[in-house]
Amino acid sequence: MAFLVSNALMLATPFKALAEVCEAGDSVFTMNMPLLLAVALVGATVGGLLARQRKGELKRLNEQLRQINAALRRQAKIESYAPTLSYAPVGGRLPESEVIVDPRKHELISRLKAGKNFLRNQELEKAFMEFKAALDLAQNLKDPMEEKKAARGLGASLQRQGKYREAIKYHSMVLAISKREGEDSGNTEAYGAIADCYTELGDLERAAKFYDSYIARLETD
């Protein structure tokens, strides 16, 4: 009889302890419920704010694109990268009567023409190599106009390959040369191209800033 009583006590003790643990656990969970609900509410609020901000950016971007289309219709003479990424070098064709004394200048012009042809035929890596060689030559000759053409060609070839961050570097070089030389030809296309690149990267805030500059120049050019 004593043996049965002692075994019964041993079996009853763990269940009682387990009940106490469960009760304590439930108590802690119940105490933390307001905190958990507060965290969930904050998360939902932040998510909603971000969604509204993104919606606002997209709305602004759509409005900017509408303005760009309207400006382009008014000024069909302007050739730009956006939205077709067509390469449009600054300046026109050299007169046949013009004599190029420096052989490096002749090579520079040839490289630019070759790069433009490769770009037109979608041979983008070859276009990049030609424009890169042209850029080096233009910098050695200290020819800022040809330097701009080469930089624009490099930006266009990289942009068509989907290398948007690298493309921004060369499109921005056009703006830097313009600032350095106090001459802003090609800036309109550079602003549009940079905006396109940021749009592709999903950075709509930066894209909007460059589209603003692009639109402003379209309306004044």
Of 131 and 73, which is predicted with more confidence?
Answer: 131
Peptide bond into 83 cis (omega under 30): yes
Instruction: Report residue 109 as tokens.
Output: 């012009």
How far is the C-alpha of 62 from the C-alpha of 171, rounded, in Å? 23
How far is the C-alpha of 18 from the C-alpha of 65, rounded, in Å? 67
Neighbours of 38 (CB within 10 A): 10
How far is the C-alpha of 130 from the C-alpha of 183, rounded, in Å? 25
Q: Tokens 């409005």 belong to which residue? A: 63
How far is the C-alpha of 183 from the C-alpha of 175, rounded, in Å? 10
Helix pair angle (164-181, 144-160), 10° resolution: 160
Please, are residues 219 and 107 in contact by the beta-carbon 8 Å criterion? no
Of 151 and 23, which is predicted with more confidence?
Answer: 151
For residue 115, pLDDT beyond 70: yes
Please, are residues 145 and 91 in contact by the beta-carbon 8 Å criterion? yes
The dihedral sign for the CA sequence 154, 161, 195, 166: negative
- Spell out the alpha helix ranges (H) of 75-162: 103-120, 124-141, 144-160
* % of the chain with per-residue pLDDT over 90: 49
Longest alpha-carbon distance in the chain? 127
**In the prediction, which pLDDT does 43 show?**
58
Instruction: Report residue 39 as tokens.
Output: 């965290």
Question: In 3D, which of 63, 78, 77 has the Cα closest to residue 190?
Answer: 78
Where are the chain's structural domains? 104-219
Q: Give the three-class secondary structure for 114.
A: helix
Give the residue-averaged pLDDT of 198-204.
93
| pLDDT tens figures, 129-163 | 999 999 999 999 999 999 999 999 999 999 999 99
How far is the C-alpha of 115 from the C-alpha of 113, rounded, in Å? 5
CATH of 104-219, one of 3.90.1150.10, 1.25.40.10, 3.40.50.2000, 3.40.109.10: 1.25.40.10
**In the prediction, which pLDDT does 181 show?**
94
Name the average pLDDT for the chain: 75
Residues 6 or more apart whose CB falls under 8 angstroms from that of 118 comprise 124, 126, 127, 130, 157
Under the banding of pLDDT at 50, 70 and 90, the label for residue 4 is very low
